[in-house]
Structure 1
Amino acid sequence: MFSGDPETSIGWLNTQWHDRRIFLSSGPFILEPWTDSDGDGVAEFGEPGIQEIVACALVARGLNNLNSVTKLKQISHLVQMAYDHNYQLGVPPKSPNVTVSELPNEILLSWDGKSEYNSDRSPYESTDPLIAMAFGDTVITSGYVTHVVDDSTYNFYQYVLYQYSDETGSDPVEVDTWSIGKKYSYNPHQARFFRILCNKNPKVGNIDYQLVNGKTYHYGLVAEVFLKDGNPEVISSRPTIVSVTPRYSPGVRYEASFNDTLEVKHTVTETGKTPSDGTTTVWVVDPSKMTGLDYTVSFNSDLTWNLTTSNGDTVLADQTNQTGNNAYNLTDGLMVKIEGGEPGINLNIPGPFGDIPGFSGFGITGGNKWFSWPVNWGLETMGGSFGNGFMFFGSDVEPSGYVDVEIRFAGIGASGWPQPDSTAGALMVVSKAAYPERWQKAVVYWGPGYDVQSTLGDVPFTVWDTESIPPRQLKVAFVEEPRSDRDGAANLIWDMGWGDDHVFGAYGGREYLFILNETYDEQYTEYLNGNKDGTYNGVMYVGGWGMRSASRPFLQDAFEFQVYAINPNSPYDLFTFTAPAAAIPTTEFLKKDMKKINVVPNPYYGFSSEDINSNGYRVRFTFLPEKCTIKIFTIAGTMVRKLEKNDPTTPFLDWDLLNFGGMAVASGVYVYHVDAPGIGEKVGKLAVFLPNLK
């Protein structure tokens, strides 16, 4: 009714504080009987009697009465927008599945990653039809800033953890957020979990005070997706609400602590196979979930991985993540992180100039190198001039198909420089005479359409797979630029545009070089007939080299160029480790822990946050063993209540402050006696002050 904002006191506001009730009516609606026009027995729009009536009731709850009005307006706007677009809106992510662990003065919440995926396990995406219609348009946003709508798809954004004052989700307080790539001081290994050590909700207790054992706390985890131009920008899942109670486990001593690292052994299943460059790291996150079992990480043919136990159970199957990021799930209280290394060049190996970013993963030996990096083509190393095939024109090479190679470049030989004829063709003749073993044939493509040439070209080097024993010679492809205005030299010789003018072309004449993982022969039949494309099929590595300096001419010297590949995890690799022993209560520690039995709150002063309602008083005995009897006496020695516990799942037992007759006990001091057969006894005092008697 009033369009203003009651929180900011701006706009048309209700200034008359009276009861206002509005009655709205619509109709009448005349509902015609349905006629099955096509006789298929299915009611369909367009048939007589088929109509749709939409009714909506909106309820909103904010931080207070005025904020509730603001929330209601926001929800009303979204509902109207949904109706206007026939409910064709972005789809919220699935609510996360949350697992809880209740530890001493600590709560651990972990979850799976299902909110990050669609039902078919593809990464979550949901298109906003309204934004899709505006795709490519220039829009004006707040502050009169213009930008082009370049995205119409919601993608996974983050998880948000809230703490509530009760199990219904009242009084939400944001505790933390989690997203892939975010860094956490309490979670150095970045798995999907929150470790909660203190209270964050003022309705529950003092802010940043340690969690109290035996006190129940309420949390909710929400998954959010984001679209910059979406309305709304963020869509949230329904919260997954859990109620958890920090606790000790009587008689239990954990063998491991949070953040402990386990020893992992890496072996191969077949003699002669080289272990991968991959790693497996394992940390203890939840000491209470330890099993004492042996675990094995193995890999399938598609390089997904499994985690199995020594008792034959597969606890994780067909896992794809080998990136080393934080999108891993907890398993049996452990965080198992598999890093297989990105396929291709191993950029962790320093280059010939030292450990310099952008110049790693390759080596140079022998004589003076006569090429360099004329331009950064966006590749991984050598100043952007050399890298993996999938970063250039793409590649169909599997992750395990990248191998170490050595490119053995030819030189001009003993005759040296200068040469009487320094054209590319004449230099090739001299070089082949001096280094016949360092020339090979290659399939050639001419731009701009990258058409395959019917005649094979010559390259002044040979390429070898150095992981094979003996080394295996590999095939090569290269591109030439026949257009004169592009400074190329289409002469079927890989010479970086040297041609007949004795000068390297700009950008190396754009004579891109492709190293193929296919055993060399001089036929190249499948490439010449077009069944294979040498710029894509089998391409491991790509070079976009050019002139180093005017004093380093084409074929000046012989040298070698090495490329070091990552060896990814393969079905031959196994990683094994042993979890710490399971935490099992022992009689020795149960006896020692009898002295830790307590009752809270003590004194009970008319109210406890754990009370059921205003008339449902309650105190809680803590640190109790599985079986025990609690007798409660007045100071005069009269027993007023007897409680029995026979529950291995909890160390708690509540007393409702009622006597044998179901009446509230009188205010005063009481003595309690705990008897655990075969373990021991504990005697303590409790002060009770009920509201009407304190």
Structure 2
Amino acid sequence: MNRKFLLILLTFVAGSALLAQSSEQTAKYRTDPVGDKTYRKKGIMNGNQIRTIFRNDGQIGYWPDRPSGEWPVYSDHHYLDGCTPIVTSQITAPGNGQIVHPAQTSYREEVDMDPVSGTLWVMEPVPGYAKKDAEEPAVSTKKTTWPDLWPKVLPNIDAAWDGYWYGYFGRGVLNADFEAFYVMDDSQDREYNRQPYNYVPVASNPNRNGLGLRVEVRGFQWSHVLAEDIIFWHFDIINLSDFDYDTTYFGFYCDTGVGGVDDNGDDNASYDTFLDIAYAFDKDGKGTPGNWKTGYVGYAFLESPGNGFNGRDDDEDGMLDEKRDDGIDNDGDWVGYVDANGNGYWDDYEPLNNDLGKDGVGPLDYQYNGPDEGEGDGIPTPGEPNFDATDKDESDQIGLTSLAIERLSNKGPNAIWPKNDDVIWRKMNYNVFDTAIQNANIQILFGSGPFPLKLNRRERFSVALVFGSDYEDMVFNKETVQEIYNANYNFAKPPNKATLTAIAGDKKVFLYWDDFAEKSVDPFLGYKHDFEGYLIYRSQEPAFNDIKLITDSKGEPKYWKPIAQFDLKDGLKGPDPIGVNGAHFWRGNETGLQHSYIDTTVVNGVKYFYALVAYDMGDPTFGTKGLTPSETTKIINEDLVGNVTFIDQNCAVVVPNAPVAGYIPPEIVGDVDKAEGLGTGSLNVAVLDPSKIKEGASYTIEFTSSGTAQKYITTSYSIVRTFEGAAETIQASIDSSNFGGKLSPPFDGIAVGVTNDTVAVDKKETGWLQGSSNYEINAIADASAPSRNIKWPSNYEVEWLPRGTTKQTPFSKIDLPFKVRNATRGEEVDAELIDPNGNKTLDAGDDIIIIEYTGTPSFANAKYTWRIQYRSPSGSFWFPPEPGDIYKVAISKPFQTGDKFTFSTKSAKIDGQTAVGEMKNIGVVPNPYISTAAWEKRNFGQTGRGERRLDFIHLPAQCTIRIYTITGALVKTLEKNSNVSDGSLSWNLVSEDGMDIAYGLYIYHVDAPGIGEHIGKFAIIK
């Protein structure tokens, strides 16, 4: 009887773990395909000043590939050879009873493998979490990397999540400016699943090997100036096995590489117990190639797994054994909706706070599509902020418990390489801190444990890679790391990105964008509408490093210098009061917003990188130190040979050039200098995209005003297009904040700018229409009686009458030798005389006041409008006005309802006959080519030749170019088939055989069918 009982018991025991029932969520996870190397993808994190390769098998950096921990971005300064997470646990192998310690990880070298097949026993990516045909894992900034459908095994999601980013805090929620997400598991690690160990983690699926672990990985980057030198890595480890793992460690392995690929033999490392950061630096402070000054890289261990079963307060936060999956708001920081009207339920105008429902999205989020489960119910729901899985504090974290620094060159059985399971286990054991090795090629291993990883449970750890120009700078950046972590992986969120369109022109670039950024709210600041303005950056490098010119008090570059800035007229201007080490963000000059810009300071043939960056107000009152303004990211990716591989929606890459031969530019037809109606302002029509201008379209700019005929304001204008017989309002009610010449939102390749006048004397147009009097006459607004004064919006003419004829003033009854006519209305009006000497006669020193009436002509209704000062000339010869002389008082006037401008457009064309005559303009630049050209891409690698390029210019749209040696040997054939605005073609000086051409003289022949031929020559000089 006792033997039978023992046998039954043994069937339920595997090592120290009890076979148990899987949860519903674990069962869903188990339906996912197992990880496999065929799903490996490689991406690049470059959402701030750090750029690094990452792979969806856990690896960060990958020696010797570039970029590996590159900082600053595109500098070719590398600090990292590779990092990867490690999970190890103690089990008893059922096959032979041996206690073993499988170390689950993935790395480029020194890992376990099948001795027969050579299959690597490592973590491998699980399919379905990135676009199938994408080359990289899913990243938030590239929708083309997202899967069409997010796997529904993920917690708390449904079909509504498809098409949105799988955010850490909810559907489409982007807390960071750049995020990566992937899933991996240890199913390919068969080391202890084979004979003689025979360990099977999931009895129902023999394809799940290793320890039966699943790892969900996220990378976070913020572009804010305080966080631009930091990457966060967040790992969720889920136990999908049939067993509890009572003694488990999580760790992070790092191979430092401060100084570049070929300079990693003199790294030093240390650990700061107060800051909880290990860090590495180069002994001689010089990196290769180029002897560049090295900085510091820190590895900050942030979030550790929790032990919610030992009856201790491991993290000393006053809570005992708190857990993320117990359905309890352990720390009480979840905030429900505000029942403002006290009716006992949520109304759609009441703040939800954290009560957003399981998708983590509320009415203030752009992706909100209605209430979901748990929204506004006053009860915490999984998926809502600050509850269970989304609250870092709801875990009894045990912290960092071990750290080892060792020499990388040691590849023996006692080295901390991933293949040495027992060594990893020993080094990660509790309270082991071994930091003796210095001045070598160094590897670092963090550890946190032991803790129980129970069946169905999810535990996590997170780390941050922190860069700094020196130790103090790294420590300063570590403070921001802690702030972001303490805020539950939240930080100031910049506005949404606008979509930028850039069009190359001849020595100019046309830029225009939408207003999506202006609708932004910042959840970090309580859903505050904090958009403030736009910055336009232009660089000749994809990372914009050449314009990061605004430095702090230590001389460290902090901000980029824009070529243009447009900000709200809201009283917020000048330097931000907070600053970063003495560098202050410039908030603008109250220019008002604009949605287009023409850059006329470019050089043809040069590649320019543009970024339209939206920024917010910041918050000087936030926390204890305030918060500086945040800018959107600007991401343009190039490969190692200079090919652009990605351009974010708010960026553009443009090469301005002369148009093709025979190009006839688009034309604006009509008088845009004078409106039909009362207003005297002007209209500017700017061509932004010549290719979109319609042939034969006509446009009417119609104004609207409010107020009385005497005192009115222009409120808005609309744009009506008539094309192919159909009229359509394409821009309605563009308000007065867009006056002042600011361009309208673009339409049909153009934009208009309205300059609206005020009611004032137009000095330029005021003066004698007829006559030769030299009396000094000046018109001003009358200010003698404020209750009666009105700047009347009309033009006037003062005409001297025939001798013996007078016109009497209405109130003082003085006879005047002139009459006054309202030229705008075409009728005579009254005038009064200011007669200082009282002689009741017009003479020098008197003033004439033009009278208008707001009702029936009477003294009560009289309004004093414009004053004409009548003065004698300064010389000895006086020529007073003669009968028939006319003096005009011209008044500028705002646009009023009914005023309009009308113009039409003609599209761009190519004229064949003109092209024939312009073939003679075809040329090569630079010519001669001497070693390099000014517009060539900078060689970031600092070794090798780098890019070589010359341009053929003023070419027809379609042509063939053949390049010959002076002896007639064909070197290269180039084909051109481009749009009408680009008359150039670049050549990289590589022959048809793929060889760099030699120095010397070359002949080229241009053949343009239907137009003609051209022969020229150029020289390549060493």
When the two structures are superposed, what TM-score results if normalisation uses the length of structure 2?
0.36
- Structure 2 counterpart of 1:307: 719
Query: Post-superposition shift, 1:602?
Result: 2.8
CA distance in structure 1 between the partners assigned to 2:909 and 2:592 by the alignment: 27
- Picking from 491, 498, 509, the partner of 1:107 is 509
Query: Post-superposition shift, 1:295?
Result: 0.5
The 3 A distance-change label for structure 1 pair 175 and 654 is: same
Query: Post-superposition shift, 1:219?
Result: 2.4
Correspondences of 1:193-232 after superposition (within 5 Å): 193-198=596-601, 211-227=602-618, 229-230=620-621, 231-232=626-627
The 3 A distance-change label for structure 1 pair 605 and 60 is: farther
Is the CA contact (8 Å cut-off) linking 2:596 and 2:743 kept in structure 1? no
Is the CA contact (8 Å cut-off) linking 2:666 and 2:908 kept in structure 1? yes
- Structure 1 counterpart of 2:992: 660
Query: Post-superposition shift, 1:642?
Result: 1.8
Provide the alpha-carbon RMSD of the alignment. Answer: 5.2
- Structure 2 counterpart of 1:163: 538
Deviation by residue 1:185-207 (Cα, 9 ceiling, x = unmatched): xxx99955444344xxxxxxxxx
The 3 A distance-change label for structure 1 pair 675 and 80 is: same
- Picking from 783, 790, 796, the partner of 1:353 is 783
Correspondences of 1:261-660 after superposition (within 5 Å): 262-266=672-676, 281-284=683-686, 286=688, 288=690, 291=694, 293-298=697-702, 305-311=717-723, 312=727, 314-321=729-736, 324-325=739-740, 327-329=742-744, 331=746, 332=748, 334-338=750-754, 352-353=782-783, 360-361=790-791, 466=855, 559-560=860-861, 562=863, 573=898, 575-579=900-904, 581-608=906-933, 609-610=935-936, 614=945, 617-648=948-979, 650-660=982-992
Bigger Cα displacement from structure 2, 625-634 vs 223-232? 223-232
Matched residue SS, 1:296: strand
Query: Post-superposition shift, 1:247?
Result: 0.9
- Picking from 55, 62, 67, the partner of 2:462 is 55
Query: Post-superposition shift, 1:175?
Result: 4.1
CA distance in structure 2 between the partners assigned to 1:191 and 1:562 by the alignment: 39
CA distance in structure 2 between the partners assigned to 1:2 and 1:261 by the alignment: 73
- Structure 1 counterpart of 2:653: 243
CA distance in structure 1 between the partners assigned to 2:1018 and 2:514 by the alignment: 43
Deviation by residue 1:555-593 (Cα, 9 ceiling, x = unmatched): xx96335499x99877x6252321453331211221122
Is the CA contact (8 Å cut-off) linking 1:167 and 1:218 kept in structure 2? yes
- Structure 2 counterpart of 1:520: none
Deviation by residue 1:112-154 (Cα, 9 ceiling, x = unmatched): 4443x225xxxx899946xx9xxxxxxxxxxxxxxxxxxxx77
Matched residue SS, 2:752: strand
Query: Post-superposition shift, 1:266?
Result: 2.5
Matched letter for residue 196 of structure 1: D
Matched residue SS, 2:563: strand
- Structure 2 counterpart of 1:425: none
CA distance in structure 2 between the partners assigned to 1:226 and 1:194 by the alignment: 22
Matched letter for residue 382 of structure 2: A
Gaps of 5+ in 1: 4-12, 133-152, 183-187, 199-210, 268-274, 369-463, 472-556
Matched letter for residue 306 of structure 2: F
CA distance in structure 2 between the partners assigned to 1:2 and 1:109 by the alignment: 49
CA distance in structure 1 between the partners assigned to 2:524 and 2:383 by the alignment: 27
Instruction: Flag the structure with more relative contact order, 1 or 2, with Cα contacts below 8 A and sequence separation at least 6.
Output: 1
Deviation by residue 1:642-661 (Cα, 9 ceiling, x = unmatched): 22222336323233333333
CA distance in structure 1 between the partners assigned to 2:950 and 2:987 by the alignment: 5
Query: Post-superposition shift, 1:99?
Result: 2.7
Matched residue SS, 1:310: strand
Query: Post-superposition shift, 1:177?
Result: 3.4
CA distance in structure 1 between the partners assigned to 2:282 and 2:306 by the alignment: 37
Query: Post-superposition shift, 1:89?
Result: 5.9
CA distance in structure 1 between the partners assigned to 2:690 and 2:962 by the alignment: 31
- Structure 2 counterpart of 1:252: 663
CA distance in structure 1 between the partners assigned to 2:1003 and 2:565 by the alignment: 47
When the two structures are superposed, what TM-score results if normalisation uses the length of structure 1?
0.50
Matched letter for residue 917 of structure 2: K
Query: Post-superposition shift, 1:672?
Result: 0.5
Query: Post-superposition shift, 1:679?
Result: 0.9
Matched residue SS, 1:663: coil
CA distance in structure 2 between the partners assigned to 1:33 and 1:83 by the alignment: 17
Give the number of equivalent residue pairs. Answer: 433
The 3 A distance-change label for structure 1 pair 295 and 128 is: same
Is the CA contact (8 Å cut-off) linking 1:101 and 1:286 kept in structure 2? yes
Query: Post-superposition shift, 1:57?
Result: 3.0
CA distance in structure 2 between the partners assigned to 1:75 and 1:34 by the alignment: 32
Matched residue SS, 2:546: coil
Matched residue SS, 1:621: strand
Matched letter for residue 243 of structure 1: V
Matched residue SS, 2:917: helix
- Picking from 1005, 1009, 1017, the partner of 1:677 is 1009
Gaps of 5+ in 2: 1-269, 273-279, 286-294, 309-322, 330-357, 359-372, 375-380, 393-459, 549-560, 574-590, 635-649, 707-714, 763-779, 794-808, 813-852, 866-891, 940-944
CA distance in structure 2 between the partners assigned to 1:73 and 1:288 by the alignment: 52
Identity %: 23
Matched residue SS, 1:559: coil
CA distance in structure 2 between the partners assigned to 1:54 and 1:214 by the alignment: 50
Deviation by residue 1:270-297 (Cα, 9 ceiling, x = unmatched): xxxxx6x585623445594654532112
Query: Post-superposition shift, 1:261?
Result: 7.5
CA distance in structure 1 between the partners assigned to 2:741 and 2:673 by the alignment: 20
